[in-house]
Structure 1
Amino acid sequence: MVSGKTVVITGGTRGIGRAIAEKFFSAGNKVIVLYNSSDQEAEKMKERGFYVLKCDVSKRDQVIDTAKKVSEITKTVDILVNNAGIWYLIPFEEFDDEKYRRMLEINLNGAIYVTHAFLPLMKEKGGAIINIASNAGIGTSALGTTFYSITKAGIIILTRRLAYELGKYNIRVNAVAPGWVETDMTIGGKSEEEIEKLRQWFRERTMLHTTGKPEDIANIVYFLASDEARYITGQVIVADGGRIDYLTHGI
């Protein structure tokens, strides 16, 4: 049980981030949500008792300013979840520098900026950092995900390096690598027919013949943040229904 803790979640107003925020909030934690564009959702969460701060994690100055604001709300942060991310499907031969850089800036640089800025609030008491990676970062056969995969592979090695460097502060660092999860990022703007085709494509590529829900990932994050996971650090938990289409057998 994780209760009475202070939790900071990036990208916490939608999709997986929202499910994670709801999980911790319902268990009686102080939840501070960082978001960039979902103003209406952010306002609704604020009305319910969440702390909500607007911040583009790809802008280091904004992240530093936000960490200062959080330090006025709480003296320490117990749990940090680096969830903010975007993706674009880009076949390699259609390389788009702007889209690639945006993914890199948010998915990878954002996690670095946020962790660095919030570390002073975690060092004294220790705690848990959970990064949201992707099974794409390990190497699945979905076309058009090469550049997205690079950013998520970066998250995986960042997780292991931070576990090594921050262990002296009793800070555990782990990652969750989801498979395809139905969120507005993965199905937004698509027709019901298109969504069903996507569902079927991913069902056929999992051992469990199913797709993920945001709550599936939130449950793992919650466990990794708990005392029950006190002996776990530097690990990547893959939650993808047992994908069978990895490009190689290596890790």
Structure 2
Amino acid sequence: MVTGAACGLGAEVAHTLAGDHTRLIGLHSHAPHADTVELAARIEDAGVETVLLPFDLVEHPLSSSRQIVETFLDAAESRTGRREVHVVVNNAGVADRDEFSHVMQHLLALSRLNLAAPMFIVKALLPYLASNGRVINISTSLNHVAAPYQVACIANTAALDSMTTSLASVLAERDATINAVLPGYDERMQSVHRSIGTAPVIAQIVRFLASDDAHLITGQLIDAPAYDGPLNRVSPQCAT
């Protein structure tokens, strides 16, 4: 299951994971979206079933997280006979560039999507996470540097990193892993336009973490500085 899969990095990750003997993949977007429908069609043409998850994590992170989980689990039980999930990629996220004096204008919205939603999704899915399951959070390597115009965003993604390391022991009780991938960022690419950039590189890192070969890797924050796309993983075009 991939959140923020309408376009950009999320779509690339979903398309990449669908090629690994996947039977069903959940594609989340914040509202019914033509790009998600098109992605689902391409994935189904390759022989993988899909379920669309159009729920707004920005305005309603708690209720939407529950709806996403229930909708996916219902589809999984109907189509595979098992009410469980093997891989969760928390990709939905957005950045906002502004002066610190304006931080309160965006802080709550950023917190709902970048931090609360991934936490709620993991909590709701935990009882249904398969043995040897995977949770992969998409964060940013900007957490390691000074970013004075993105304080609210970085505060949330840094907290997401902390959640990732803290939950490793919790998921270990289910023989599952949790890691975060931290794409790099190029200031020249600040844009609200969708941009794949080197998203395929990031998608391959996610693919490895989702594989059996990564079963001993957990609680890790993996820098991926090759990514030169925008920090916004859900652009306004993707979110509507």
The 3-state SS of whatever aligns with 1:180 is coil
Runs of 4+ in 1 over 4 A off after TM superposition: none
Q: Distance in 1 between matches of 2:209 and 2:170?
A: 18
Q: In structure 1, what is the equivalent of residue 53 of structure 2?
A: 53
The answer on 1:16 being equivalent to 2:2 is no
Question: Cα distance 1:38–1:90, how it changes in 2: closer, same or farther (>3 A)?
Answer: farther
Q: Once the two structures are superposed, what CA deviation does each residue of 1:10-69 show, in whole Å capped at 9, x if it has no partner? A: 101211111100101123312111110461112212333232110123421122122111
The 3-state SS of whatever aligns with 1:52 is strand
The 3-state SS of whatever aligns with 1:187 is coil
The 3-state SS of whatever aligns with 1:216 is helix
The answer on 1:85 being equivalent to 2:93 is yes
Give % identity.
Answer: 26
TM-score normalised by structure 1 residue count:
0.77
Question: Cα distance 1:17–1:230, how it changes in 2: closer, same or farther (>3 A)?
Answer: same
TM-score normalised by structure 2 residue count:
0.80
The 3-state SS of whatever aligns with 1:26 is coil
Q: Where do 1:119-134 residues align within 5 Å? A: 119-122=126-129, 124-134=130-140
Aligned length: 212
The answer on 1:178 being equivalent to 2:183 is yes
Q: Is the 8 A contact 1:45 1:52 kept in 2?
A: no
Q: Is the 8 A contact 2:183 2:223 kept in 1?
A: yes
Q: Distance in 2 between matches of 1:63 and 1:186?
A: 29
Q: In structure 2, what is the equivalent of residue 42 of structure 1?
A: 36
Q: Is the 8 A contact 2:181 2:224 kept in 1?
A: yes
Q: In structure 1, what is the equivalent of residue 66 of structure 2?
A: 64
Q: In structure 2, what is the equivalent of residue 105 of structure 1?
A: 112
Q: Distance in 2 between matches of 1:51 and 1:151?
A: 29
The 3-state SS of whatever aligns with 1:94 is helix
Alpha-carbon offset, residue 93 of structure 1: 2.8
Alpha-carbon offset, residue 187 of structure 1: 2.3
Q: Which runs of 5+ in 2 are unaligned?
A: 45-49, 77-82, 228-240
Q: Is the 8 A contact 2:138 2:180 kept in 1?
A: yes
* CA RMSD between the two structures: 2.5
Q: Higher RCO, 1 or 2 (CA under 8 Å, sep at least 6)?
A: 2
